[in-house]
């Protein structure tokens, strides 16, 4: 028999010190206790807190733990009695909290047993024989911790993790929770579990998956895929670190396979600078691990991004003009395919799959390990500049000229938003891959004419100092909410007409974030046929984000004539014609042929899906 | 020119759709983070597709940090006044004084009757509301000893316990359109909370309705400035060209709101539409600009 343990909070304490008392409920939740009950002991002259309001407040203040709410007293409706609530309204309130708190409210007062304050473990065990949760009155954090310690022993019984009734109440009917493979049962997270909130959302997108599977080995990834195959009716997100702008690594009510635990970084051949990296590592961790060797592997522009998502898309970053895309350094990748098979893809083994994974990886499998050949990279100049411009069109035009004609050791990204009262704030993120500070200054100086310098930070640092800009994701996980709206495009050349139209788009207010990533240099050294990511020759990658998708589409429209293709990592539009922007028709055709071979039933379908069954390509 | 001199409030009016419960709460959080002052929900217990407003208010209050909350407006016929007073005071205590009471006499009597409520005529409803407000304030007032005894036409109670006492003086804002309701508002309420779409001639009706409230306040020996004038705007749109009231570019919104504040004494602007991006810009761009302009106009020239 499983003992469920909870706490009782005193209503008058809650009224006196609401914040501190709510903290006790949150602590109980954090420590894995099962239930919070507010005792309605109003004995004073004046009435105490309304018990229903208090219970709802606690439900809103917590996310997992069950809340015991007193059932409304059965009253006969009497419109003349100001103290008699309507039963129909009480029922509606109960239905509503069921929706809002997702089944966490227990409104049957005989749903728990109250133990005396400071009850001994034996007393609790004996009370638990009624097979109801046992709740104990608490006054302090110490009281909660004592109970938590007592409860800690009972969480794994017979090797199987137990879940309380309140947690199980939040299960989705269309997921076979009890059928989670044994290898994954211990690390799987359901909506009611303590870590759930930290795993449900991504960097920019809110989500509420029905189950998160967290494999630690390729074999466990196979198990997870097998489970996913039995749940083809659900969305399936694959997550490395959950930073992806498009937010495809979460969903509503579906499955997420989170490979975050597979994050080792290991040098396998120092002479050839071969490094094996797990998909769950972040680029900040990778950079930090490579710095002691005097090496670096270019990634994007943010250290919090995970390896898996970026290394299967392209990796257009601050070292790309000098060192190429991240995928250009990939020598081999281990994958688990839709049928659960573990395979290696490289130039020698499964070369077609190797081609496909470098650009369209999300359609073909779950990467479990990457082998990269990294570069020797010494100290670089790392600059973050803020400039103010009264003529954003001119600034864009000048930036584009400077950034594309700069030596390839110099990569400068340009970020701006809506001009405020005619004034645009421009942020420049620049890496000069040159150890000489004077050269760094010389390379950056021309960019100062883009506006009035408002802030500058220029340092000489290893690449790990560049990736170190990312804040670590704390124990609360990614906290995005709502749906991000982002458009991406490749710009073959930045023309004056582009600058004019981009300035108009920015002034419209429909875009709050607009970035140009300078490309060229080493990116274009590689032939377009090398990988399924084929956009080798654009001058820039553009990203625009807006609050309102419809509005964003409207203001983005003038960008289309200037652009050719898109980078799928920064695109949230899921309409099928975007596929042809990501993959030109011949590339898409080849990918589709491979998709038929490697994922004929279209298990991996949630991220720029290449449907194996479609024969006709969407119109561009 | 009528300006009652209240500090300005900016808020949202969110549809409490049960189907989209998560987004409803997210919208409240968005309003909170956008720096708005108020988030409000309509109260129609007989509307099956809506969440229970009292429950939603308490849940949203727990999920937000700074913003104040109110029903817009509570349907008194289905919310017995002592029950309502205690729930309101409890939420005010728990939220650190962030609850305000919007209240109305009730509409949609068929729905009210279907929920077991009592059907009243418009005139009866006004009297019942006056009694309800008196009982609510009695329950909140714990400075008086002794129980609440009340013998009204529509409500009566013997020996109701007082309390709990709210964390702050919860203002009572009344949704009113007709002369009797406006008179009640002027006589006893702390605020007037209508929707501009329901005023007979839109903003042009405000002077005469304000005058009715002011007159009733005078008759009751009150300063008309004791009654804050709030306004809901259900149909709003941010667009590039000015098309109408709160339908146009932000600068036009600012001008229109400043005009309503300085010329009509409206001091709280509550927008509908359930659009997070409008909510954000309302808080980040429009509200600060309005505050600045109104402040400038109110400061006597030196």
Chain A contact probe: residue of B91, B164, B280, B281 with most A CBs at under 10 A: B164
Asked if residue B1 belongs to a domain, the reply is no
CB-CB under 8 Å, B52 with A92: yes
* CB-CB under 8 Å, A58 with B62: yes
Query: Residue A45 — pLDDT band, cuts 50, 70, 90?
Result: low
Q: Tell me which of B16, B83, B129, B165 to substitute to probe the interface with A (most A C-beta atoms closer than 10 Å).
A: B83
Mean pLDDT of B275-302: 91
Task: Give the CATH number, domain containing residue B256.
Answer: 3.20.20.30
Is some CB atom of chain B closer than 8 A to the CB atom of A41? no
- Residue B116 has its nearest CB partner, among A88, A96, A546, at A88
SS (H, E, C) chain B: CECCCCCCEEEEEECCEHHHHHHHHHHHHHHHHCCCCEEEECCCCCCCCECCHHHHHHHHHHHCCCCEEEECCEEHHHCCHHHHHHHHHHHHHHCCCCEEEEEECCCCHHHHHHCCCCCCCHHHHHHHHHHHHHHHHHHHCCCCCCCEEEECCCCEEEEECCCCCCCCCCCEEECCCCHHHHHHHHHHCCEECCEHHHCCCHHHHHHHHHHHHHHHHHHCCCCHHHCEEEEEECCCEECCCCCECCEECHHHHHHHHHHHHHHHCEEEEEECCCCHHHHHHHHHHHHHHHHHHHHHHHCCCC
Residue A422 touches partner B, C-beta closer than 8 Å: no
* B95 part of a folded domain: yes
Please indicate whether, in this complex, the C-beta atoms of B54 and A15 are within 8 angstroms of each other.
no
Q: What is the least distance, in Å, from the CA of B44 to any CA of chain A?
A: 10
In a domain, B2, yes or no: no
Spatial CA neighbour of A14 closest among A45, A32, A39, A44? A39
The confidence score (pLDDT) of residue A42 equals 54
Under 8 Å between Cβ of A46 and B145:
no
Instruction: Kindly report the number of other CB atoms within 10 A of residue A497's CB atom.
Output: 12
| Distance from the B178 Cα atom to the nearest Cα atom in chain A, whole angstroms | 24
Residue A618, pLDDT score? 55
Burial class (CB in 10 A: 0-12, 13-18, 19+), B266: buried
In a domain, B49, yes or no: yes
Whether residue B16 lies inside any domain: the answer is: yes
Does B80 contact A85 at a Cβ distance shorter than 8 Å? yes
Cα A493 from chain centroid (whole Å): 32
Residue A620 has pLDDT above 80, yes or no: no
Domain count, chain B: 1
Domain residues for B65?
9-298
> Do the chains contact at A47 and B86, CB–CB below 8 Å?
yes
**Residue A338 and residue A599 in contact, taking contact as beta carbons nearer than 8 Å:** yes
Q: How far is B25 from chain A (nearest CA, A)?
A: 9
Q: Which residues in chain A have Cβ-Cβ distances shorter than 8 Å to B86?
A: 47, 50, 53
- Residue pLDDT, tens place only, A372-386: 999 999 999 999 999
Q: Residue A407, Cα to own-chain centre: how many angstroms?
A: 35
Residue B157 is nearest to which of A60, A82, A206, comparing CB atoms? Answer: A82
Q: Both tokens of residue A95?
A: 């239905």
Subunit contact B78:A58, Cβ cutoff 8 A: no
Structure confidence by residue, pLDDT tens digits, A566-601: 999 999 999 888 999 999 999 999 999 999 999 999
A to B CB pairs, distance under 8 Å: 164
* Chain A stretch 208-247, residues whose beta carbon is closer than 8 A to a beta carbon of chain B: 208
Nearest CB among B21, B81, B89 relative to A82 is that of: B81
For the segment A476-513, what is each residue's pLDDT rounded down to a tens digit?
Answer: 788 787 889 999 999 999 999 999 999 999 999 899 99
Residue B85 lies in a domain: yes
Q: How far away is chain A from the Cα of B101, in angstroms, using its nearest Cα?
A: 15
Q: Residue A2's pLDDT band (boundaries 50, 70, 90)?
A: low
The pLDDT of residue B252: 95
> Which tens digits make up the pLDDT trace of B49-72?
999 999 999 999 999 999 999 999
ipTM: 0.96
| 8 Å CB contact of B56 and A92 | no
DSSP A154-216: TSEETTEE---HHHHTT--TTS-GGGS-HHHHTT-B-TTSTTHHHHH--SS---B-SEEE---
Q: For residue B69, is it within any domain?
A: yes
Q: Give the model confidence (pLDDT) of B146-156 as tens digits.
A: 999 999 999 99
Q: What is the DSSP letter of A115?
A: P
Output the six-digit token pair for A7.
Answer: 């706490």
Nearest CA among A221, A184, A213 for reference residue A342: A221
A97–B21 C-beta distance less than 8 A:
no
Tell whether A307 lies on the interface with B, counting CB pairs under 8 A.
no
- Cα–Cα nearest to A221, from A233, A207, A238, A204: A238
What is the model's pTM? Answer: 0.63
Q: Which residue has the higher pLDDT, A101 or A257?
A: A257
Q: Are A79 and B54 a contacting pair at CB < 8 A?
A: no
Instruction: Name the token pair of B163.
Output: 């309390």
Query: Does some domain include residue B4?
Result: no
The CA-atom distances, in angstroms, between B168 and each of A47, A174, B32, B56 are 17, 47, 20, 21
Least confident interval from A114-128, A268-282, B215-229: A114-128
| Cα–Cα dist A251/A53, whole Å | 31
Residues of chain A positioned with their CB less than 8 A from the CB of B132: 82
Name B122's Cβ contacts closer than 8 Å, sequence gap at least 6.
B105, B178, B180
């Amino acid at each position: 028999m499983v003992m469920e343990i909870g706490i009782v909070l005193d209503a008058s304490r809650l009224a006196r010190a609401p914040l501190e008392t709510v903290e006790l409920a949150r602590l109980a939740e954090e420590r894995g206790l099962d239930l919070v009950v507010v005792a309605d002991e109003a004995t004073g002259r004046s009435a105490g807190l309304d018990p229903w309001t208090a219970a709802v407040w606690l439900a809103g203040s917590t996310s997992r733990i069950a809340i015991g709410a007193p059932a409304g007293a059965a009253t006969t409706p009497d419109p003349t009695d100001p103290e008699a609530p309507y039963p129909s309204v009480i029922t509606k309130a109960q239905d509503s909290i069921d929706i809002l708190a997702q089944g966490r409210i227990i409104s049957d007062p005989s749903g728990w047993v109250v133990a005396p304050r400071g009850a001994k473990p034996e007393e609790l065990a004996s009370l638990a024989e009624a097979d109801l949760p046992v709740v104990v009155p608490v006054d302090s954090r110490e009281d909660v911790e004592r109970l938590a310690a007592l409860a800690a022993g009972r969480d794994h019984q017979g090797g199987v993790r137990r879940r309380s009734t309140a947690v199980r109440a939040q299960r989705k009917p269309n997921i076979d929770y009890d059928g989670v493979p044994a290898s994954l049962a211990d690390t799987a997270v359901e909506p009611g579990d303590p870590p759930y909130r930290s795993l449900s959302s991504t960097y920019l997108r809110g989500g509420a998956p029905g189950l998160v599977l967290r494999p630690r080995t390729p074999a466990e990834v196979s198990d997870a895929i097998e489970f996913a195959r039995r749940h083809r009716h659900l969305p399936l997100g694959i997550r490395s670190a959950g930073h992806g702008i498009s937010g495809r690594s979460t969903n509503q009510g579906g499955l997420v396979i989170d490979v975050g635990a597979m994050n080792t970084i290991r040098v396998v051949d120092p002479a050839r600078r071969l490094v094996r990296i797990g998909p769950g590592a972040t680029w900040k961790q990778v950079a930090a691990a490579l710095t002691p060797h005097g090496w670096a592997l270019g990634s994007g522009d943010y250290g919090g991004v995970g390896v898996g998502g970026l290394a299967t898309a392209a990796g257009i970053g601050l070292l790309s003009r000098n060192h190429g895309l991240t995928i250009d350094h990939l020598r081999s990748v281990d994958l688990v395919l839709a049928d659960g098979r573990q395979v290696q893809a490289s130039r020698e083994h499964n070369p077609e799959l190797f081609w496909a994974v470098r650009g369209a990886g999300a359609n073909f499998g779950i990467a479990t390990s990457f082998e990269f050949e990294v570069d020797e990279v010494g100290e670089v100049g790392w600059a973050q500049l803020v400039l103010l411009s009264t003529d954003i069109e001119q600034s864009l035009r000048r930036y584009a000229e400077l950034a594309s004609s700069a030596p390839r050791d110099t990569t400068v990204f340009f970020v701006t938003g809506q001009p405020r009262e005619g004034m645009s704030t421009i942020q420049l993120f620049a890496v000069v891959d040159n150890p000489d500070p004077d050269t760094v200054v010389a390379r950056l100086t021309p960019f100062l004419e883009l506006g009035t310098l408002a802030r500058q930070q220029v340092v000489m640092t290893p690449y790990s100092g560049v990736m170190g800009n990312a804040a670590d994701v704390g124990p609360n996980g990614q906290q995005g909410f709502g749906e991000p709206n982002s458009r991406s495009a490749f710009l073959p050349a930045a023309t004056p007409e582009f600058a004019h139209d981009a300035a108009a788009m920015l002034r419209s207010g429909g875009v709050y974030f607009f970035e140009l990533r300078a490309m060229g240099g080493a990116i274009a050294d590689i032939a377009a046929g090398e990988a399924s990511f084929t956009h080798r020759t654009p001058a820039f990658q553009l990203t625009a984000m807006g609050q309102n998708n419809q509005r964003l589409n409207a203001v983005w429209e003038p960008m289309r004539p200037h652009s050719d293709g898109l980078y799928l990592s920064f695109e949230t539009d899921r309409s099928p014609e975007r596929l042809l922007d990501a993959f030109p028709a011949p590339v898409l055709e080849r990918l589709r042929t491979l998709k038929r071979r490697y994922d004929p039933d279209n298990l991996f379908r949630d991220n720029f899906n290449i449907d194996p069954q479609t024969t006709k390509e969407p119109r561009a | 020119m009528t300006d009652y001199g209240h500090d300005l409030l900016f808020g949202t009016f969110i549809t409490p759709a049960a189907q989209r419960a998560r987004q409803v709460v997210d919208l409240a959080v968005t309003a909170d983070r956008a720096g708005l002052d108020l988030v409000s929900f309509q109260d129609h217990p007989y509307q099956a597709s809506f969440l229970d407003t009292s429950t939603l208010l308490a849940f949203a209050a727990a999920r937000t940090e700074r913003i104040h909350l109110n029903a817009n407006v509570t349907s008194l016929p289905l919310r017995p006044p002592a029950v309502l007073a205690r729930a309101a005071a409890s939420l005010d205590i728990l939220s650190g004084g962030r609850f305000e009471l919007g209240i109305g006499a009730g509409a949609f009597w068929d729905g009210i009757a279907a929920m077991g409520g009592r059907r009243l005529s418009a005139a009866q409803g006004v009297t019942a509301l006056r009694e309800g407000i008196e009982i609510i304030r009695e329950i909140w007032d714990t400075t008086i000893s002794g129980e609440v005894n009340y013998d009204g036409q529509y409500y009566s109670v013997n020996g109701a316990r007082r309390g709990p006492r709210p964390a702050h003086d919860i203002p009572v804002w009344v949704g009113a359109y007709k002369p009797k309701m406006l008179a009640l508002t002027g006589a006893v309420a702390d605020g007037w909370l209508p929707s501009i779409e329901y005023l007979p001639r839109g903003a042009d009706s405000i002077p005469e309705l304000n005058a009715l409230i002011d007159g009733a306040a005078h008759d009751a020996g009150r300063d008309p400035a004791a009654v804050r004038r709030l306004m809901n705007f259900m149909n709003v749109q941010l667009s590039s060209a000015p098309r109408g009231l709160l339908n146009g570019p932000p600068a036009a919104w600012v001008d229109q709101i400043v005009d309503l504040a300085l010329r009509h004494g409206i001091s709280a602007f509550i927008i509908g539409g359930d659009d997070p991006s409008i909510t954000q810009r309302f808080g980040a761009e429009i509200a600060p600009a309005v505050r600045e302009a109104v402040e400038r106009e109110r400061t006597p020239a030196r």
